Structure 1
Amino acid sequence: MTDVDALTALTRGDRRQARELALRGTSLLAQALATYLDTEDTGSVYDQPAAFEAFISGGGNVGLYAAVEAALADQYRELAPLRLADIGCGDGRVIGNALALGGHLPDSLTLVEPSAALLAQAVRALTPSRAYAGTVQAFLSEVDAEFDLVESTFAMHTIPHVERTQVLATLRHRTERLVIVDFDVPAVEHGGPEHLRFLAETYERGLSEYTGDLVAQGFLMPVLVGQLTPGALASRASRVTWEQPATAWREQLEKAGYASVSVVTLHDYWSSPAFLLTAE
C-alpha cells in the first residue's frame, strides 16, 4: 500500500476506503490522512484561522515569507504607489512587514479578505483606508476604485480558473501594475497518477515541518482532501486551491489583456518554487 492508493480512493469519492488504506500506512501523510478522514469536513479552513496562522508562522514559510516581503518592498521602492491594494491580505503581516521594509506609506491602503477573522487582525495592525470582508469578485462588482499597485500573495489560486480570468481582466482596468506571488506547480493532469504522486511526496515533506495536529488537521489535510473530491475541478464546496504552473499564469494574464507580463523565481519551497509575477 502506498499513500498514492489512499489519495486515489479519494478521487473516486471513497473516503472509507481511503481511510482504511491510510490506516495501514506508516508515513506522516498516512497518519494525518487517517485522522482527518475520521471526522466530518466543517467549513472553510480560514473560518477559524488558528491553524492557518500556525502554518504560515512555521516551517519553510519563515524563509518563504521573508523572500516575499523583500520582493514586495522592492516594488514599493520602485513605484512608490500612492493607492495600494492587497487582495487576500490574510492577517496583514506580509504587507505590513513589506511596507516597513520598503519604508513606504501609501496615501490609500485597501485590504480585501474573505475571512472576517483574518481581516479584523489586519485592520487592527494596519488601519487601512478601506477594508472589504469578502471575495475579490464581490469587491470589484461593488467598489469602483483604481490603484497604482494591486498585489496578491498566495491568494489568487483560491479562485476557480474561469472566474480568475474575469477578475484579472477587470483588474487590468483598475491598476497600473498587478503583482502576484504564487507557486509554480508541475504541469500534470489534476487527479492523475503523476499529480497524486506529487501530492503524496510534497505533503509528506510539508507535514515533517510541523509538530502536533493543529496545522495537519486544521489546514494541510483539508486543502489536500478538498482538491481531490470528485468534481473538485469545478466545485467551490470543498476545494480551496486551483493552482497552476507559472507558464499557465503568464498565459492567463495575457488572455486577460495584459501587454507586459514577467515572472521570476523567488524562493524554493517544500511544495513548489514560489514566483513573483508582474503584469501591466
Structure 2
Amino acid sequence: MSTHLADALAAYRAGDRARAANLAGRTDSPLGAELSAYLTTDGAGPVYDQPRAFTAFIRGGGNVELYRRLSAELAARYDRLRPESLLDLGCGDGLAVVPALAQSSFRPSRIDLVEPSSGLLSAVDVPGANRFEATAQEFLASSGSTWNLAQSTFALQSIPSAERAELLRNLCPCTATLVLAEFDVPEQPEGSAEHLHSLAARYERGVAEYGEDASLVAQGFLLPVLLGLVADEQRTNWEQPAADWSAQLAGAGFAEIDVEPLADYWWSPAVLVTARGSHAG
C-alpha cells in the first residue's frame, strides 16, 4: 500500500483537504481513488445520508459471514438462557435479531426493540415486539423495565465513551445478562503515524470486498466513517479494544465478564462479550 494514503489522512487531519485529495489521487489503489473523488466533490454529508450505501455495506462483503455467525451465537444463547424478556439496544433493521429468533427454539415472551431511526425500526420483522424509537440513553432514562437478557450488536460503539459508561451503569441493575458484539480494535494513539497507516490498510481491505458496489459503499458510508475517525468531525464511532470493553463493563458494575472470538473481519476481529448484570433475572 502506498504511503500516500496515510499521508492523505494526515493532511486531512491537519485541515488541508486539497492536499489530502492530491495525495490520495497519487495512489494506485481503489481506496485512494475513492478518497480523492470524495474530497474533490461535495462528499461531506453525514453517515446514513445514503440508505442504499449502508444497505449495500451491511448486507455485503464480510458482513454476510459476520452476521451469519452472530445470529447463530445469539440463537444459541436464547436456547441456553431461555430469557422471558429480551432487550435489543440499537437493533437497526433487525439483521442480527431476526435470524437469531428464527433459528432459536425458544422465543422470549417480551421483546423490546430500541432504535433511533424510525426507518430502520419499522423494517424489523419481529411480530409482537415492542418498538421504541429512541436512543439507548433516552430509553433507559425513561423505561423503568428489567430484562433477563439485554443485547447490543455493533451499536454501543456509536456512543462516546463517557456517555457509554453512564449508560452501562444504568443498564447493569436492569438486566441479568448482557451480550455485546463489538470489534477488538488495536490500541493505537489516535492521529499517530501507526494509527493512520493502520486505518488506510484496513479500509483498503474493506473497499476491496465490495466489487461493483465498492464506489457506492465507499462514497456513501465507509469514507464518512473513516474521515470522522481521522479528524473527529461528524464522528460516529468510538470503538475500543476488547480489554477496554471489559474494563468499562466492570466499572459499570457488571461481573463474570467473558470475551469470545466471533469472526475475523477486515476492520478488526469481532468478539462477543458476555457479562452478568445485577438484576436477579
- The interval holding the TM-score normalised by the smaller chain is over 0.9
- Asked whether 1:58 is paired with 2:60, we answer yes
Cross-structure match for 2:200: 200
Aligned 8 A contact 2:71 2:100 in 1: yes
Structure 1 counterpart of 2:225, which letter? Answer: V
Cross-structure match for 1:242: 238
TM-score w.r.t. length of structure 1: 0.93
Post-superposition offset of 1:121: 0.6
Structure 2 counterpart of 1:190, which letter? Answer: E
Cross-structure match for 1:222: 224
Aligned 8 A contact 1:91 1:121 in 2: yes
Aligned 8 A contact 1:48 1:117 in 2: no
Structure 2 counterpart of 1:87, which letter? Answer: L
Cross-structure match for 1:151: 151
RMSD between aligned residues: 1.3
Name the SS of the counterpart of 2:96 in structure 1.
helix
Cross-structure match for 2:183: 183
Post-superposition offset of 1:244: 0.6
Name the SS of the counterpart of 1:248 in structure 2.
helix
Structure 2 counterpart of 1:7, which letter? Answer: L
TM-score w.r.t. length of structure 2: 0.93
- Residue segments in structure 2 that go unaligned for 5+ positions in a row: 277-281
Name the SS of the counterpart of 1:2 in structure 2.
helix
Name the SS of the counterpart of 1:126 in structure 2.
coil
Cross-structure match for 2:106: 104
Aligned 8 A contact 1:178 1:278 in 2: yes
- Residue segments in structure 1 that go unaligned for 5+ positions in a row: none
- Asked whether 1:262 is paired with 2:273, we answer no
Aligned 8 A contact 1:49 1:118 in 2: no
Task: Give the Cα–Cα distance (whole angstroms) in 2 for the partners of residues 74 and 40 of structure 1.
Answer: 42
Number of matched pairs: 271
Post-superposition offset of 1:47: 4.8
- 5 Å-filtered alignment, 1:1-280, equals 2-37=4-39, 38-43=41-46, 45-122=47-124, 125-210=125-210, 211-212=212-213, 213-229=215-231, 232=232, 238-280=234-276
Post-superposition offset of 1:46: 2.9
Q: Deviations over 1:100-125 (max 9, x none)?
A: 11122211111111222111111xx1
Aligned 8 A contact 2:140 2:170 in 1: yes
Identity level (%) = 46
Post-superposition offset of 1:134: 2.1
